[in-house]
Amino acid sequence: MTVKLYAMTCGWISTDFDLLFAGAPGKVRIPVPAYLIDHPKGRVLFDSGLHPDVQTDAAGRVGAEMAKTFEVEFRPGEEISTRLETLDIAAESIDYLVNSHLHWDHTGGNELIPNAKIIIQKKEWEAGHVPELIQQNVFLPADYDHGHQVQQIEGEYDLFGDGTVVTIPTYGHTPGHQSLKVKLASGDIILAADACYFRKTLEQMHLPNIVFDKEQMLDSLKTLRRLQSAGARISYGHDPEFWQQIPQAPLQLT
């Protein structure tokens, strides 16, 4: 059974480094990732990047304060549907959309993936529909309430029942953040998303300032360390130096 994994950069964001690595000076420019997993039993997208409206009116889409804090570089052709076209894959053919969490740079492209079943942690989906938690976590329901079929899961979930695509609960960044373990011929790779922004986040166990629950996020970093010690490779969520080494679709990760 061959499982193929492809990485895609769907725009870039610049912001204060301190927000993503507490105490760090200056600015940082980070990629907005998404991944395609091509499995014999179905196609899986892990996160969907930014909404196309951000290309022309970021403040109108995400709010003036958010657009001021996070400066977006996002050109036509970088949205998830067009990235998939480089693989000769129609956005309508995606079977599953695993959202790591509900932030706008991870769910903005959900609208472009109309036929997928969303796989998400139950506590994250519930938080995305409680006004106080929407405000606290800066969620944008316009990005994720599109009438998709939604499967709410709790903890680890083996998508195909064969151990090749498994959700890993990594709570803390948001109430129900999850990472994804993909088993390739070369071994396991963990798509960490915002559970671990940078390589040095894991090396130093250093938290960002953007965090819902610090203790849970530290526990999630410990989980990632255990998986790494067991031989898994970690794909860091927004590490620009790390992403320079990542083959971009149509190239395949091996």
Q: Is 198 within a domain?
A: yes
**CA–CA dist 5, 213 (Å, integer):** 31
The helix (run of H) or strand (run of E) holding residue 235 is strand 233-236
The band of 194, judged by pLDDT with boundaries at 50, 70 and 90, is: very high
Total structural domains within the chain = 1
* Whole-number pLDDT of residue 120: 98
Q: Is 104 within a domain?
A: yes
Q: Is 252 within a domain?
A: no
The band of 200, judged by pLDDT with boundaries at 50, 70 and 90, is: very high
Tokens describing residue 170: 């990594």
pLDDT in tens, 136-168: 999 999 999 999 999 999 999 999 999 999 999
Residue 157, classed as helix, strand or coil, is strand
* Whole-number pLDDT of residue 192: 98
Residues 6+ apart with CB under 8 A from 225: 202
Is the pLDDT at 169 greater than 80? The verdict is yes
Q: Is 248 within a domain?
A: no
Do 228 and 234 meet the contact criterion of CB atoms below 8 Å apart?
Answer: yes
pLDDT in tens, 25-39: 999 999 999 999 999
- Note down the domain range covering 44: 4-243
The CATH number that applies at residue 100 is: 3.60.15.10
**CA–CA dist 129, 201 (Å, integer):** 30
Q: Is 251 within a domain?
A: no
Kindly report the backbone phi and psi dihedral angles of residue 5, in degrees, each rounded to the nearest multiple of 5, phi listed first.
-130, 130
Residue 105 is classified by DSSP as H
Count of helix runs (H) and strand runs (E) in the chain = 11, 12
pLDDT in tens, 66-110: 999 999 999 999 999 999 999 999 999 999 999 999 999 999 999
**Residue 235: C-alpha distances to residues 51, 85, 88, 210, 232 (Å):** 23, 23, 24, 20, 10
Q: Is 156 within a domain?
A: yes
Residue 10 is classified by DSSP as E
**Residue 34: C-alpha distances to residues 98, 130, 133 (Å):** 10, 26, 25
The band of 232, judged by pLDDT with boundaries at 50, 70 and 90, is: very high
The helix (run of H) or strand (run of E) holding residue 125 is helix 122-127
Kindly report the backbone phi and psi dihedral angles of residue 108, in degrees, each rounded to the nearest multiple of 5, phi listed first.
-60, -30
Residues 6+ apart with CB under 8 A from 204: none
* Whole-number pLDDT of residue 136: 96
Q: Is 216 within a domain?
A: yes
Q: Is 48 within a domain?
A: yes
* Whole-number pLDDT of residue 167: 98
* Whole-number pLDDT of residue 166: 98
Over residues 245-250, mean pLDDT: 93
The band of 6, judged by pLDDT with boundaries at 50, 70 and 90, is: very high
- Indicate yes or no: pTM above 0.85: yes
**Adjacent-strand bridge partners of 184:** 187
* Whole-number pLDDT of residue 91: 98
Residue 227, classed as helix, strand or coil, is helix
